[in-house]
Amino acid sequence: MSDLTEYEARREALRENYLSEDSSAPVSTAGVDHLALICSDMDATVRFYTEVLDMRLAKVITNRDDPTSTHVFLDMGGGNMLAFFDFPEHGPAPAVRGVGAMHHVALKAEAEKYRKIVQTLKARKIDHSIHGSEDVGSVYLRDPDNILVEVTTGY
């Protein structure tokens, strides 16, 4: 393993230059309206997020930029939406991890809902890993397109 001193120095510089001590300071944005991701199979995606993660399908529309593409919105709670596009005319080329790519989606859950999701994952034999416990912590899993999803109680 390499010497991590340089990396910690970079993190400390970020803290010193940008980290605000005042958590009540106003910001210009008002939260997440929606995250928009791309899926290869809309039915499998909607089924996964509604049946496994217990989200609600809130809207289905045509993609404004491509009339062959469907744009769905899933209510993930807290006034936030998770949206998916499909591009059936463009094929299923997967994303490549790199700069500009998303690493994972982290969703908040109350402990009771978290436990229910963990039980659903076990019952459906969906691969997952738990950091913490089955009662509180984070559970990591992958959706049908291999998108990494974290559900956390914020322990």
Tens-place pLDDT, residues 75-118: 999 899 999 999 988 877 777 778 888 899 999 999 999 999 99
- Quick check: is 3 in a domain? no
Q: What is the pLDDT of residue 1?
A: 61
56 falls within a domain:
yes
- Model pLDDT, residue 148: 95
Residue 67 has pLDDT above 80, yes or no: yes
> Taking the CA atoms of the chain, what radius of gyration do you get in angstroms?
18
What percent of the chain is predicted at pLDDT more than 90?
A: 75
Residue 135 included in any domain: yes
pLDDT at 54: 96
Q: What is the dihedral of CA 126, 127, 133, 134, to 10 degrees?
A: 10
What number is the average pLDDT over the span 54-59?
Answer: 97
What kind and span of H or E run contains 139? strand 137-142
Q: Does residue 48 fall inside a structural domain? A: yes
Read off the pLDDT of each residue in 35-64 and give the average, rounded to a whole number. 96
Answer whether residue 73 is part of any domain: yes
Instruction: Give Cβ neighbours of residue 58 (< 8 Å, ≥ 6 apart).
Output: 73, 74, 75, 81
Split into its structural domains, the chain has a count of 1
With respect to residue 36, please indicate whether it lies within any of the assigned structural domains: yes
CATH of the domain at 137: 3.10.180.10
140 lies in a domain? yes
Domain assignment present for residue 97? The answer is: no
**Whether the predicted pLDDT of 154 surpasses 90:** no
Please check the confidence at residue 32 and state whether its pLDDT lies above 90.
Answer: no
Helix (H) or strand (E) holding 11: helix 5-18
Residues 6+ apart with CB under 8 A from 6: none
Domain that holds residue 68: 31-88+103-152
3-class SS at 97? coil
Residue 2 — very low, low, confident or very high, per pLDDT cuts 50/70/90? Answer: confident
